[in-house]
Amino acid sequence: MWAPVCAVVAMLAAYLLAASARRREARGWSGWRTAAFATGAALLAAGLSPPVAALGGHDLRGHMLQHLLIGMLAPVGLVLGAPVTLLFRTLAFPGRRALGRALASRPAHVLADPWVALVLSVGGMAVLYCTPLYHLVTGDPVLHHLPHAHFLLAGCLFAWVVAGPDPAPRRPTVPHRLVVLGVAVAAHATVSQLMYAGLLTGLTVPADELRGAAEIMYYGGDAAELLLALAMVTTWRPVRRRVLAPRAS
């Protein structure tokens, strides 16, 4: 089915229209942000495309490729496109006020905690692959969409909290976020290595398929997390403390 891809194309078209309008304003709009969002949308569309979806429906390696595209690589581009900032600048005042209230709400504060975002991202992956849940959802024509939806939302949340340029109700320091990202790297590596060894998994698939999926998770996850780290440190502006000269006696 091409419906998910069409939805992504519609989302990208709306972004491009809004970005084009903002570029004509005095403040303009960054072409880099537009390129980042378009790249994220392209990766998301690729992960949702029927050929990749068909492969993911019967082969764990295809499923892991979908996971990588939808839940790890695409969110980096989408978040770096600053869609919330663009929406703020596009909406009329009532819409901006409602969006601001949503970002300042208690649920937003909870979700913007890096450790909460980490648990939702890595925890969902561990539950899916270390329990029988994977076989349960992949065998159902409706339920098999749920893991992809979760990975997309959790991936966007994690990317936003760690390196997003959009406003957030809380923004921990860069060293704090680097620690969270380091834990995420270690968690992904641990799950992929356990999967490669066939340990502590709820997956009953051929060994070569299991190892191939583990390699996709291991190396692809490293690439996505490296992109997040680069995005984060490029916005790091260390606070410089002024040293006061001693008073003359």
DSSP letters, 203-232, are: --S-HHHHHHHHHHHHHHHHHHHHHHHHHH
Q: Average of pLDDT values for 31-43?
A: 95
Query: How far apart are alpha carbons 248 and 221 in whole angstroms?
Result: 58
Least confident of 18-27, 68-77, 175-184, 202-211: 202-211
Confidence bin at 55 (pLDDT 50/70/90) = confident
Least confident of 15-24, 27-36, 105-114, 235-244: 235-244
How much is the average pLDDT of 8-22? 95
pLDDT of residue 245: 53
Band of residue 76 on the pLDDT scale cut at 50, 70, 90 = very high
DSSP assigned state of 46:
H
Tell whether the model's pLDDT for residue 12 goes beyond 90: yes
pLDDT of residue 53: 86
Q: Is the pLDDT of residue 236 over 60?
A: yes
Q: What percent of the chain has pLDDT over 90?
A: 50
pLDDT, residue 194, reads: 87
Rounded Cα distance between 184 and 225, Å, is 8
Average pLDDT of every residue of the chain: 88
Q: Does the pLDDT at position 30 exceed 80? A: yes
Residue 168 has a pLDDT of: 84
> Are 86 and 19 spatial neighbours (Cβ–Cβ below 8 Å)?
yes
Mean pLDDT of 107-135: 89
User: How confident is the model at residue 246, as a pLDDT?
Assistant: 57
38 touches 12 (CB < 8 A): yes
- What mean pLDDT is predicted for residues 105-125? 91
- Rounded to an integer, the average pLDDT of 148-173 is 90
**Taking 90 as the threshold, does the pLDDT of residue 145 lie above it?**
no
Higher pLDDT, 45 or 164: 45
The predicted structure's pLDDT at residue 247: 58
pLDDT of 44 over the 60 cut: yes
